[in-house]
Structure 1
Amino acid sequence: MDLSRRSELQEIMDDPALPRAEYERCLHDLAAVNRVTLTHRPTLRWLERATRGLPADRAVSILDVACGGGDLLRAIHRWAARRGRTVRLEGIDLNPRSAAAAAARTPAGWDIRWRTGDVFDHMPDPAPDFIVTSQFTHHLADADIVRFLRWLERHATKGWLIVDLHRAAFAYRGFGLLATVARWHPIVRSDGMISVARGFRRAEWERLLAEAEVRGEIAWQLGFRWSVSRLK
């Protein structure tokens, strides 16, 4: 695999022809991947900083783009509950199976709204305080990432955060080995390696932000990831 530039290979889970049972098994193993690789930690740490100056009794609205099976929003719900903070949570995903899968995995009484749709057609009303997304942008071509950065800047009233993968040989081979040892679904193993190959290096994020004419803070995160964020 040539990692000198972003791969254009497509991930199998994005294929609408994938049988539902296989999709459900992949979601189950992806949740395990997220736990083992501490996927949600950068987002929770950023939200801690982003909400620090807000009154404790003020409800905070958060939109998760490409929410998948809903792991991140459930982690945010638990984070907010531990702090006694009220949150209004919503997730959107292009895959029509995601909303039902996320709802089925969410405990009764948790007020999280799941939506199906293309983020570029979505005009949040009211606009959320914060928009977050984890490991979504590597699915996009560079031109659409520029478009997405502008969308985030336009619709997030207080700030936005992108967390995505760093493209490196160690991460590429290391995930393949980890997935094999953990006996995760073969699609999860294959897609995970493709995800790394579609990932980013710092200079690429700098270029994308410049093309979008959007200011953003780029930071290295645990687990071979980058965060790109802005607080307003």
Structure 2
Amino acid sequence: MAFLSGRAADAVEEMDKPDCDPARLRRTYAQFALVNRAVSGWRRAYLHQLRPRLAAAARSGPAMRRATLLDIGCGAGDVARSLARWAAADGLPVDITAIDPDERAYAYAASRPAVPGLSVRRAYSADLAAEGARFDIVVSNHILHHLSPAELDGLLADSKLLCRSLALHSDIARSALAYVLFAAGTLPFFHRSYIRRDGLTSIRRSYTVPELRRAVPPDWVVRQDSVFRLHLVFEPGRGAVGA
């Protein structure tokens, strides 16, 4: 598939357009949880990368404290909600802040039933960095491919200021296999939302591991989490070992 040989950085997802259909957009937000459970791998990331650090943060003082996590560009808020539920099930005291600058995404995420330990704000990561906020862990899901080079640089700079232990940005790894499987798997579904159309555009806009390594500073580590996923990781005090 020659059209996947390079990033389609100029392609625009329908849901990012300010005049997109609001009913179709709301259905898209509602379906994010299903899609993310199927393809995003956050349960595995929680078990192997987030949970140990959250547990260590909670036990870092003389008394048990509440660990903190920031989800940047939270969209519908489903990933943050899952992380809050998993932490609660494990008995981990965690406060999760989910932010998104898009008024529509914020309104949807804030309208969902409350989950203990989770709060939602309409904000950019730069807003929290300017406030001097700090979190044990900073995460994002599917936002890297949306960003211009300057916006990517800004996100990474903010993440380093905001995180104490780990920043983990998870995104799609562009490949012909990912495109074909997503196209086939979603063909019977999602006809009244933007999931299928924008999902295919997202794959076209996404990075390969070598491309992302060239786009980020050397103290960020790019890892292939699976055939379909990549992780961009920063750990304070560590260099690019394992890149």
CA–CA distance in structure 2, aligned partners of residues 227 and 179 of structure 1: 24
Q: Which residue of 1 aligns with 2:23?
A: 21
Aligned to 2:240: none
- Find the counterpart in structure 1 of residue 221 from structure 2: 217
Cα drift, residue 225 of structure 1:
0.6
Instruction: Specify the alignment match of 1:116 in structure 2.
Output: 122
CA contact (8 A) 2:69 2:94 kept: yes
- Contact 2:72–2:98 (Cα < 8 Å) also in 1: yes
Pick one of 20, 28, 42 that aligns with 1:40: 42
**How far apart, CA to CA, are the structure 1 residues paired with 2:42 and 2:36?**
7
**SS of the counterpart of 1:53?**
helix
Contact 1:88 1:112 in 2 (8 A): yes
Q: Does 1:147 align with 2:154?
A: yes
Hey, what's the Cα distance between the residues in 2 that align with 1:140 and 1:38? Answer: 19
Shift in CA distance, 76/229, structure 1 to aligned 2, threshold 3 Å: same
Return the letter of the residue paired with 1:47: L
Aligned to 1:6: 7
The match for 1:138 is 145
| Cα distance in 2 between the residues matched to 1:224 and 1:147 | 25
Q: Which residue of 2 aligns with 1:174?
A: 181
Q: Which runs of 4+ in 1 moved over 6 A?
A: none
Per-residue deviation, 1:38: 4.3
In the TM superposition, what is the alpha-carbon distance from 1:152 to its structure 2 partner? Answer: 0.9
Question: Which among 52, 57, 74 is matched to residue 54 of structure 1?
Answer: 57
Map Cα deviations across residues 20-43 of structure 1 (whole Å, 9 max, x no partner).
Answer: 222111112222111222442344
Identity of aligned residues (%): 27
SS at match of 1:146: helix
Cα distance, 1:156 vs structure 2: 1.2
* 1:151-195 C-alpha deviation (Å, 9 max, x unpaired): 211221222101011111111121111111334545210100011
What SS does structure 2 have at the residue aligned with 1:220? strand
Q: TM-score, normalised by structure 2?
A: 0.85
Going from structure 1 to structure 2, the CA distance change for 1:55 and 1:183 (only over 3 Å counts) comes to closer
Shift of 1:128: 1.4
Separation in 1, partners of 2:3, 2:149: 18
Match of 1:227 in 2: 231
Please provide the CA RMSD for this pair: 2.0
Partners of 1:42 and 1:203 in 2: CA distance: 23
Q: What number of residue pairs does the alignment pair up?
A: 228
> Contact 1:92 / 1:115 at 8 angstroms: preserved in 2?
yes
**Structure 1 position 126, deviation (Å):** 3.0
Measure, in 2, the Cα distance between the counterparts of 1:59 and 1:43.
20
Following superposition, the deviation at residue 146 of structure 1 comes to 2.3
Letter in 1 for 2:166: G
Question: Post-superposition shift, 1:55?
Answer: 4.1
Which residue in the other structure is 2:241 paired with? none
**Change over 3 Å in CA distance of 1:178–1:91 after alignment to 2:** same
**Is the Cα contact below 8 Å between 2:72 and 2:140 reproduced in 1?**
yes
